[in-house]
Amino acid sequence: MRSARFRRSRRAAAITLVSALSLTALAACGTSSSGDDGGDGAQQNGSSDPTIPLDPKTKVTLTIDCMPPAAKAAELKEWKEDVAEFNKTYPNVTIEGRSTPGQCLEPPRFTAMLKAKSQPDVFYTYFTDLPQVLAEDGAADISAYVSPKTVPLLKDIDPNVLDSLRHQGNLYGLPTSNYTMGLLINRKLFKDAGLNPDAPPRTWDEVRAAAKKIAALGDGIAGFGEYSAGNTGGWHFTAQMYSLGGDVVDASGTKAAFNNELGKQVARNLHAMRWEDDSMGKTQLLKWGDLQKQIATDKLGMFLAAPDDIAYMVQQLGAKYENFGMGPIPGGKNTLAGGNNYMVKKGISPDKIKAAVAWLNFKNLTVGKGQFDWARTKADGLPVGIPQPNFWLNGSKTKDDAARVEHATMPVENFKAFMDNPVAGKAEPPKAQEVYKILDNVMSGLLTNKDADVDKLLSTAEAQVNQILAHQ
């Protein structure tokens, strides 16, 4: 749903490409400037046959968004190094990186960009953006361009991740990262409460029991935290439904599927934890960022999260890696999954598509290179050892996992319960953000009203979600 800050929740507004790194500057840091304008029709020395990889002699310019901004000095350094390394193989491909000072993808501006057809040649999206991008006819079908010849580790990429980028059998993007949600815990508070931090709760009954013990420590400490604002409450309600084997939208995508016994189980459990157990704290109407601050300051025992929250809390909030651990999502039937990817603008030349695939393969889809160069990541002072992104299978997974452990900057054993007990990922529902906004009302009702009527909250939300789904 947001990307590190909002990859899963997606509440801010989509990419305005506010700052382009000049070709001169890029050339200085290792990007080749070919003198070609990179126009859509330019093929120079290339071939229009999509099954033939890019000829290194071909001259094209690619505009690519989400280049790290200057404020992220280490990440920008690595981007420049990767451009220089890429240009050793493809000296005539000019990478024109574009960045924004804040969040990379902000939904309102992203929508405006798609409508104006102003997206760069290679543009960043979330898995859930595919329907919107296709509705605006914004992405090229790259199926024919992606093969073991152009992406050598294609067979080792989790097919569930790739399927998130397919529509009617056609492939429209290549992944950058993926995530699944689990139970993030504060190891210190677990120990203080007499709980085993190496064995986080595996059922919701166990969560409730552990939350009571942690809250009993006093000093304003909450045992379990939940969101109920900014679409994040609905996002987490969905995750809890998935964890019990349920849905929020039925298989047809046309009707709500949460006003049932599973939905009532989720709702009643949360209401009981808040009001009967007093284990969720007095402050509610929380959104993304609030729970992270609480757990980072030893005021919260556990909440549902993706692993990248840990890096955020260390890098932005001054927390320590050793204070956190993760287990699989309680219930364990399914877990909410998502991620980020890059798509290629529809209408650009075949050679530019080939260049895009070549760059994405090098930067994001090669074990030991680009984003998976863990030795470099460690040397640059960036985190190594967080369980995800990890969309590898087979020998690639073995190799990448070993490298993460070798270069880890954190105690990877703290995540062993999460890594050793994978839960099947399930994609976000249709109209996810609109559905989540409605389900926020369920969560806020449960957590702010002691006399909340569970049946009424769910039936009202059901009617509203059905109305949203009827207008797809």
Residue type, 21: L
Q: Are 308 and 386 contacting, i.e. CB atoms less than 8 angstroms apart?
A: yes
Does 182-334+428-469 carry CATH code 3.40.190.10?
A: yes
Instruction: Record the pTM.
Output: 0.80
How buried is 37 (Cβ within 10 angstroms: 0-12 exposed, 13-18 middle, 19+ buried)?
Answer: exposed
Closest CA to 306 of 420, 389, 393: 389
Residue 336 has which token pair?
């909410």
Q: Is 19 left (phi over 0), alpha (psi -120 to 50) or beta?
A: beta
Give the DSSP letter of residue 126: E
The pair of structure tokens assigned to 54 is 């890019």
Q: 19-179+339-365 with 182-334+428-469: one CATH topology?
A: yes
**What's the pLDDT at 102?**
62
Domain positions in the chain: 19-179+339-365, 182-334+428-469
DSSP state of 416: H
What pLDDT sits at residue 48? Answer: 79
Residues 364/365/368/373 CA torsion (nearest 10 deg): 10
- How many angstroms separate the CA atoms of 94 and 60, rounded? 6
Q: Specify the CATH number of the domain 19-179+339-365.
A: 3.40.190.10
Q: What is the pLDDT of residues 192-226, one digit of tens each?
A: 999 999 999 999 999 999 999 999 999 999 999 99
Q: What is the pLDDT of residues 7-19, one digit of tens each?
A: 433 333 332 223 3
What is the pLDDT tens value at each position of the chain, 472 positions in all?
443 333 433 333 332 223 333 323 333 333 333 333 334 434 445 677 898 999 999 999 999 999 999 988 999 999 999 999 999 999 999 999 998 766 687 778 888 999 999 999 999 998 988 989 999 999 999 999 999 999 999 999 999 899 999 999 999 999 999 999 999 999 999 999 999 999 999 999 999 999 999 999 999 999 999 999 999 999 999 999 999 999 999 999 999 999 999 999 999 999 999 999 999 999 999 999 999 999 999 999 999 999 989 989 998 899 999 999 999 999 999 999 989 999 999 999 999 999 999 999 999 999 999 999 999 999 999 999 998 888 999 999 999 999 999 999 999 999 999 999 989 899 899 888 899 999 999 999 999 999 999 999 999 999 999 999 998 7
Are the C-beta atoms of 30 and 81 separated by less than 8 Å?
yes
Q: Which of 443, 332, 428 has its CA nearest to residue 9? A: 428
315 and 7 in contact (C-beta within 8 Å)? no
443: nearest Cα among 223, 234, 241: 234
